Amino acid sequence: MTFSDFSSLDLSLISTIIVPPIAGAIIGYFTNDIAINMLFRPYQAIYVGKRRLPFTPGLIPRNQERLAKKVSDTIMGSLLTPEELQKLAQRLLKTERVQTAILWLLNLAIKQVKTDKEQKTAKILSEILRDLFTESLPRLLKALARRTDFLEHQINQIFDQIILDFRLTDTQARQFADWLLEGVLPPDILRQALVDFLTERNIQVIDEGVREKTSGTYWVVANLFGVRNTLLRLRSFCLEEQETANTRLKELLLSLEVRSRLREWLQSISLQNLPVSTVRQLRKTTRETVQTYVQESGSQFIQDFGQTVDWNQLSILIINRLQNSAALTTSLETISKELALILDKYLEEDLEKIVAQAIPILSIDQVIIDRVNATSPQNLEAAVQGIVKSELQAIVNLGGVLGFMVGVFQTILLLFR
């Protein structure tokens, strides 16, 4: 057998036994690899003239909108259902987390107020207080005042607890007595009142009454001397000798100890000493008087009062006081806890409704569609490769193995032939 015969035998053997398995493995391997790459590539359509080449762009870029809709339907249909969103919201809105969030917000608000150099918070508070006292409160008072029992219980309680038990102290009675004797009824006023009282007609009435109603020694004096001349002389004295009359009246008040007697009398005044019926009537009169005043003038009084107050300055004082208030700082945790409990109770009752209303507002399905559509094919490929890289490589390897097995099977067939 010549060398040429060996060569032809080797080539025949190689083409029959070795080439089919190797070729099958290469074809199977690269065919799967090309198929997987064709899922994403090419990223853009390729045109020859005006005709688009088949299989361009890749399967996923070509159907990205439909893929986005399928992904959205899958997530919203089986993963983010209303029940799951409700459970998620319940875990997220636990009382401890809500309390922490509220406390953080309150501390942030306090810190913002402290660093507010333009006094924005004070201006807002000023507008709120101004509106409250000049607009809102007068309207509210006017509406409430139409009720027949308006402030009835409150006024009765104030009357029973304060007015009924009220008594002047010794200092108050002394000051009140001094005011009466020096400001209301000084000697000059008493003298003038005496002059006004001793008119001709009054003197005549007094004189006739004394003559008719006295007896014994007083009758003799009244009928022989009468009181007419005495009263006329007293009136003339008060008119002609004003300074002297004032001095005599002042001395008379001192000698009679009117100031001391008046102070004792003022201290003894108490509504409890009055009859029960009188006290009840007084309480009723007091209540009706206050109600009438509030109904007729209360709203206007509050409105006028609100216009006289410098709300800007008052608001600044309030804000400054709150900034330095230790009670406010220590109470923030309690406030946040109470607000968290209130919110938790509200969410416990209405969380299902809130989630049902929030899903259409949030449009989660559209967000998913938009995000998938906005993702470039390169990023989609990188994401898929990152998730199932080993699985995709196994598919490529499996293609090579299957191609190799087909080549071996073909070699066996050739050898039998």
CA atoms lying within 13 Å on the CB side of residue 69: 3
pLDDT tens track for 360-404: 776 777 787 787 777 777 777 776 666 656 666 677 677 777 777
> In terms of DSSP H, where are the helices of 199-241?
200-213, 217-224, 228-240
What pLDDT score does 16 carry? 66
pTM: 0.40
Residues 262, 181: Cα–Cα separation, whole Å: 9
Encoded tokens for 180? 């009466």
What pLDDT score does 1 carry? 47
> Of 276, 306, 336, which residue is a domain's last?
306
Count the domains in the chain. 2
Mark whether 178 and 285 lie in a shared domain. Answer: yes
Mark whether 393 and 282 lie in a shared domain. Answer: no
Mark whether 266 and 412 lie in a shared domain. Answer: no
Sign of torsion, CA 317 323 326 332? positive
> What is the residue range of 411's domain?
1-43+377-417
231 in any annotated domain: yes
Mark whether 163 and 288 lie in a shared domain. Answer: yes
Q: Can you list the residues of the chain whose pLDDT is less than 50?
A: 1-7, 9
What pLDDT score does 107 carry? 77
> Of 306, 325, 349, which residue is a domain's last?
306
Mark whether 288 and 166 lie in a shared domain. Answer: yes
What pLDDT score does 5 carry? 47
What pLDDT score does 389 carry? 61
91 in any annotated domain: no
> Of 286, 306, 326, which residue is a domain's last?
306
Mark whether 156 and 302 lie in a shared domain. Answer: yes
Residues 199, 193: Cα–Cα separation, whole Å: 11
197 in any annotated domain: yes
Mark whether 294 and 160 lie in a shared domain. Answer: yes
6 in any annotated domain: yes
Per the prediction, the chain carries an average pLDDT of 76
337 in any annotated domain: no
What pLDDT score does 255 carry? 86
CB atoms within 10 A of CB 30: 14
Mark whether 157 and 257 lie in a shared domain. Answer: yes
